[in-house]
């Protein structure tokens, strides 16, 4: 990596130049036979010779590993064939946003038996189980905005809650899909300006909004990501009923949140929200690094993002907040069966480690990868016969800092994270460190 190469095009983030596939992957250890499905991971991957100007804006590429009854059947990677990949500009000649010209580079989910590659403010792209692009989706013409990359599926109802944010009013729009994948509800939510809202949370009774001081800056258009911290925009968290656009807002200390761990309600109606908090200093440190700032500038601006908790009391209108840990972590995950419900365990990653938080006992377990390996988001898959919350597997693709070294899919026993993985799938190539993945069991696709 030279001093002039953007950080998002080098080392563990360097894009791969092509699409490949391989069958009969080598496995060390023993893959659990119940893991029969697909692990898909999304992330930015510019075309060869292309510089998109920011890590967040490269074309979406899915990496997939097929596991089947104790063997790793195949690996393949495919660009999402978006209109943008084919050369369509995100802004049309009439000045309107082309909702199908997004990067589709952030996450990949299954809902209603369909697979979607997502990025915020754009249409989802439907993908086949073999990673072929089927095309943009507007749910029968009912989705008239873009869609977040972080929708939340309610484990009690099967409904999918999502939103879109934009540069012009309405700055925020809420949507709800039925369990079958039909868009049933849409309405605007009032916020004062074009905030960059990356995630949301749900509870049985609430949608939890994050209205935070990173906002659209018109003068930055055409220079990577046109969003920046504003000292004049108030930081607040909102609670909204699932069928009522009225929001109760709670002012909080200025910060930014990319990713939420979970939220839940207690028997007094209070809502607890756990998320990764960036202070103003941590925001600028991170934004300069992922935006390609020179290494000297990055080294001069070191700050960390930490696991944080807010407790919101609708009855009194008060909020309390405190740090749960002082370690630098990101990409928090929980058991999907507990989204919006009380959870004991939360998983996250440090740069070179996978981390497990035990909220009941205040304990932290770590699996250290070593300085040469970068940890990818850890996705929890419950064991078929699980009785405890952490009885299952953690799946994570890890990437070496040397671009010549192939990546690995690690399968950990979530009850004993510090131990060696129960299985390691040796992938046929390096997978650039990316964003979010999903485990999609065959049973979900056969519904």
Quick: pLDDT tens for 258-272.
999 999 999 999 999
Cβ–Cβ under 8 Å, residues 206 and 230: no
* DSSP H or E run through 66: strand 60-68
Kindly provide the b/e burial profile for residues 113-125, where b requires at least 16 CB atoms within 10 angstroms of the residue's own CB.
ebbbbbbbbbbbb
pLDDT band at 1 (very low <50, low <70, confident <90, very high): very low
What is the mean pLDDT of the segment spanning 118-135?
97
Q: What's the chain's average pLDDT?
A: 94
Tens of pLDDT, residue by residue over 394-410, are 999 999 999 999 999 99
pLDDT number for residue 80: 98
Q: Other C-beta atoms within 10 Å of 26: how many?
A: 11
pLDDT band at 161 (very low <50, low <70, confident <90, very high): very high
Kindly provide the b/e burial profile for residues 239-277, where b requires at least 16 CB atoms within 10 angstroms of the residue's own CB.
bbebeeeebebbebebbbbbbbbbbbbeeeebbbbbbbb
pLDDT band at 95 (very low <50, low <70, confident <90, very high): low
Cβ–Cβ under 8 Å, residues 426 and 410: no
Q: Is 111 annotated as a binding residue?
A: no
What's the Rg (C-alpha) of the chain? 21
Q: Round to whole Å and give the CA distance between 289 and 239.
A: 32
Q: Is 63 annotated as a binding residue?
A: no
- Mean pLDDT check: name the lowest of 92-96, 97-101, 334-338, 348-352: 92-96
- The CA–CA distances, whole Å, from 364 to 325, 341, 359 equal 9, 21, 9
pLDDT number for residue 2: 53
pLDDT number for residue 97: 80
First to last CA, the chain: 47
Q: Round to whole Å and give the CA distance between 60 and 193.
A: 28
pLDDT at 358 > cutoff 90: yes
pLDDT number for residue 296: 41
Tens of pLDDT, residue by residue over 40-69, are 999 999 999 999 899 999 999 999 999 999
pLDDT number for residue 3: 60
The listed CATH number (3.40.50.1580, 3.30.70.370, 2.120.10.30, 3.40.50.850) that belongs to domain 7-445: 2.120.10.30
Q: Round to whole Å and give the CA distance between 267 and 269.
A: 6
The distance of Cα 144 from the centroid of its chain, to the nearest Å, equals 23
pLDDT at 5 > cutoff 90: no
Q: Round to whole Å and give the CA distance between 375 and 370.
A: 10
**What length is written for the chain?**
447
What is the mean pLDDT of the segment spanning 311-337?
98
pLDDT number for residue 301: 47
Phi-psi sector, 29: left (phi>0), alpha (psi -120 to 50), beta: left
pLDDT number for residue 446: 72
- The CA–CA distances, whole Å, from 348 to 119, 328, 334, 374, 378 equal 21, 10, 9, 13, 7
Question: How much of the chain exceeds pLDDT 90, in percent?
Answer: 88
Kindly provide the b/e burial profile for residues 46-77, where b requires at least 16 CB atoms within 10 angstroms of the residue's own CB.
beeeeebbbbbbbbbbbbbbbbeeeebebbbb
pLDDT number for residue 303: 76
Cβ–Cβ under 8 Å, residues 75 and 427: yes
pLDDT number for residue 297: 45
pLDDT at 389 > cutoff 70: yes
Own/partner contacts of 69-72, CB < 8 Å, gap of 24 or more, are 69/33, 69/36, 70/30, 70/31, 70/32, 70/33, 71/24, 71/27, 71/31, 72/24, 72/25, 72/26, 72/27, 72/31, 72/409, 72/425
pLDDT number for residue 293: 57
Q: Round to whole Å and give the CA distance between 405 and 432.
A: 11
Give percent helix, percent strand, percent coil of the chain, each to the nearest 5: 10, 40, 50
pTM: predicted TM-score of the whole model, two decimal places: 0.96
User: Half-sphere exposure (CA, 13 Å, Cβ side) for 292?
Assistant: 19
Sign of CA dihedral 413, 158, 111, 262: negative
pLDDT number for residue 217: 92
- Mean pLDDT check: name the lowest of 3-7, 145-149, 232-236: 3-7
Sign of CA dihedral 251, 253, 255, 256: negative
What is the mean pLDDT of the segment spanning 222-238?
92
- Mean pLDDT check: name the lowest of 97-101, 228-232, 374-378, 409-413: 97-101
pLDDT at 294 > cutoff 80: no
pLDDT number for residue 298: 44
pLDDT at 184 > cutoff 60: yes
Cβ–Cβ under 8 Å, residues 390 and 414: yes
Sign of CA dihedral 64, 140, 158, 99: positive
Query: Quick one: tokens of 119?
Result: 């990025």
What is the mean pLDDT of the segment spanning 211-215?
98
- Mean pLDDT check: name the lowest of 2-16, 47-61, 282-296: 282-296
pLDDT number for residue 292: 65
């Amino acid at each position: 990596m030279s001093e002039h190469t953007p950080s998002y095009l080098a080392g563990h983030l360097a894009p791969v130049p092509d699409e490949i596939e391989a069958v009969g992957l080598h496995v060390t250890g023993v893959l659990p036979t119940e893991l029969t499905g697909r692990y898909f991971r999304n992330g930015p991957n510019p075309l060869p010779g292309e510089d998109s100007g920011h890590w967040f804006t490269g074309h979406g590429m899915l990496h997939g590993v097929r596991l089947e009854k104790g063997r790793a059947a195949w690996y393949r990677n495919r660009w999402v064939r978006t209109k943008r990949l084919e050369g369509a500009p995100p802004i049309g000649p009439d000045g309107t946003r082309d909702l199908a010209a997004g990067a589709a580079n952030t996450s990949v989910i299954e809902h209603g038996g369909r697979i979607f590659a997502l990025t915020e403010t754009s249409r989802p792209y439907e993908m086949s189980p073999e990673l072929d692009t089927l095309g943009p989706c507007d749910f029968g013409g009912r989705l008239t905005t873009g869609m977040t990359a972080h929708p939340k599926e309610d484990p009690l109802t099967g409904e999918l809650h999502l939103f879109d944010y934009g540069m012009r009013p309405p700055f925020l729009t809420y949507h709800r899909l039925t369990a079958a994948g039909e868009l049933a509800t849409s309405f605007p939510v009032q916020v004062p300006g074009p905030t960059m809202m990356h995630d949301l949370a749900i509870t049985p009774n609430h949608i939890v909004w994050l209205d935070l001081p990173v906002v659209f800056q018109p003068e930055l258009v055409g220079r990577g990501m046109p969003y920046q911290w504003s000292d004049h925009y108030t930081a607040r968290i909102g609670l909204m009923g699932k069928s009522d656009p009225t929001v109760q807002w709670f002012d909080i200390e200025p910060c930014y949140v990319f990713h939420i761990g979970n939220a839940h309600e207690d028997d007094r109606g209070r809502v607890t929200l756990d998320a990764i908090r960036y202070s103003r200093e941590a925001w600028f440190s991170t934004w300069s690094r992922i935006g390609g700032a020179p290494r000297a500038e990055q080294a001069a601006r070191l700050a960390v993002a930490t696991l944080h908790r807010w407790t919101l009391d609708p009855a009194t209108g008060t909020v309390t907040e405190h740090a749960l840990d002082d370690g630098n972590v990101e990409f928090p995950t929980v058991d999907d069966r507990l989204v919006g419900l009380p959870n004991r365990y939360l998983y996250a990653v440090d740069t070179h480690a996978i981390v497990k938080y035990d909220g009941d006992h205040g304990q932290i377990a770590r699996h250290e990868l070593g300085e040469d390996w970068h940890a990818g988001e850890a996705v929890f898959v419950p064991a078929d016969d699980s009785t405890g919350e952490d009885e299952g597997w953690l799946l994570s693709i890890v990437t070496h800092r040397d671009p010549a070294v192939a990546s690995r899919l690690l399968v950990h026993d979530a009850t004993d994270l510090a131990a060696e993985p129960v299985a390691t799938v040796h992938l046929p190539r390096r997978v650039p460190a990316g964003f979010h993945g999903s485990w999609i069991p065959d049973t979900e696709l056969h519904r």
